[in-house]
Structure 1
């Protein structure tokens, strides 16, 4: 990809399992002023971006229907575009619960592209396993399980309604230092100096999404000043990123196990930034790996050291 002559070319890569609403999302982006191309072969995307100028932001649907599709190739393309100074790229992953996908295929009586001769349930399971790494690497993850097509369009408008690319999406990633830094984070902050709920037996199996853990972490006298300084830094940096034409900025919050302290800090920081009008998404990497991120607050779980 050669350098763009001026400004940043905004590109949204849209992917996710079949039946999760990718076509609805692509159509919604097109209505917002994006040049939308669905089911585009991955090898054609770099050639598309080599054009002297693309007057509109791009929304590119990529999925398993492409004969050259692979998650490795998609993530390589994501990294290449993220590193390119003339491109503001984001990977949008439309997620959906397996039971909901099964219901949608049953209602439409469509064959699953990964299992045309078998049950759609087998195809769904294979596709979700294949796409797991792309889900983890996504800049923005939208769970469509409880969304109607109208609701999904509203979500897309909220995230991408400014087709000029001047609306900046902010993402916060909690993670475990044991498993390394999340892919593509712009700034990383260490939360390991805060009091650790892991050493309280009644809190060890809970997460930072649970009120007792959040209250325990917040009781550390260093917590409030830390979050305040993070908020001040973000509010200082974000307008400058908008002026530069960036479409996305991500912050990493890490602790030992990615279960307690980093989760609590990420949730608190997200609320603070949302209160200032920023569009914020949260990813709890270690909780997602263990199926805990989507459960309701106040539940219980088993955990490793946080």
Structure 2
């Protein structure tokens, strides 16, 4: 990861990429730089959901809670990184819409990690924690095939080469 990340002017960062792309590493760098980090996987794990996919109703509840916490942190003047896949434009737009009344435009950090590296990383997972959730090969391929890569047309975007 570039030493320029996180960029100091990025108040809210949406850390975006498929499972195994390196989102947790980028989120950790954000935390080290003073950002509050909201992690979907940590929240799911704390609720007892230790495998993928999390049931849809649980995922929706987690996102509602993350968005509520995000708005509270932003109102308190904090810089925040949200660590979840943001696999679809709709998921990214939901967070943009959540932040709009606060006058904040988030920056998407898209982890552009080669498929082969992602699959290799996922094959090493053992389920030891929220950032090590086992993703079977067929599920991993499905996640990669269904991933909607963000574009600058959506809003601010930083592409992170995370090989």
Q: TM-score, normalised by structure 2?
A: 0.61
1:24 correspondence with 2:25: yes
Conservation of the 8 A alpha-carbon contact between 1:38 and 1:62: yes
Conservation of the 8 A alpha-carbon contact between 2:70 and 2:80: no
C-alpha separation in 1, matches of 2:10 and 2:158:
18
Equivalent residue in structure 2 for 1:88, among 105, 116, 120: 105
Q: List per-residue Cα deviations over 1:272-292 (Å, max 9, x = no partner).
A: xxxxxxxxxxxxxxxxxxxxx
The 1:81–1:9 alpha-carbon spacing in structure 2 relative to 1, beyond 3 Å, is: farther
C-alpha separation in 2, matches of 1:139 and 1:82:
16
The 1:42–1:71 alpha-carbon spacing in structure 2 relative to 1, beyond 3 Å, is: farther
Match of 1:59 in 2: 81
The 1:18–1:46 alpha-carbon spacing in structure 2 relative to 1, beyond 3 Å, is: closer
1:11 is displaced (CA, Å) by 1.2
Gaps of 5+ in 1: 1-7, 64-68, 146-306
C-alpha separation in 1, matches of 2:69 and 2:134:
28
Gaps of 5+ in 2: 1-8, 44-61
Q: Describe the SS at the equivalent of 2:110.
A: strand
The 1:72–1:44 alpha-carbon spacing in structure 2 relative to 1, beyond 3 Å, is: farther
Match of 2:4 in 1: none
Equivalent residue in structure 1 for 2:159, among 137, 141, 145: 141
Conservation of the 8 A alpha-carbon contact between 1:14 and 1:22: yes
Equivalent residue in structure 1 for 2:117, among 74, 96, 100: 100
Q: List per-residue Cα deviations over 1:182-229 (Å, max 9, x = no partner).
A: xxxxxxxxxxxxxxxxxxxxxxxxxxxxxxxxxxxxxxxxxxxxxxxx
1:72 is displaced (CA, Å) by 5.2
Q: Describe the SS at the equivalent of 1:104.
A: helix
Equivalent residue in structure 2 for 1:124, among 136, 140, 159: 140
1:33 is displaced (CA, Å) by 0.5
Count of matched residue positions in the alignment of Structure 1 and Structure 2: 127
Conservation of the 8 A alpha-carbon contact between 2:15 and 2:82: yes
Match of 1:46 in 2: 67
C-alpha separation in 2, matches of 1:130 and 1:114:
18
Conservation of the 8 A alpha-carbon contact between 1:114 and 1:127: no
1:76 is displaced (CA, Å) by 2.6
Q: Describe the SS at the equivalent of 1:135.
A: coil
1:74 correspondence with 2:95: no
Q: List per-residue Cα deviations over 1:36-63 (Å, max 9, x = no partner).
A: 1211532224322443832320111113
Q: List per-residue Cα deviations over 1:117-155 (Å, max 9, x = no partner).
A: xxx2x33321122222x433471221212xxxxxxxxxx
C-alpha separation in 2, matches of 1:9 and 1:96:
22
Match of 1:14 in 2: 15
Q: Which has the larger radius of gyration?
A: 1
Query: CA-atom RMSD, angstroms?
Result: 3.2
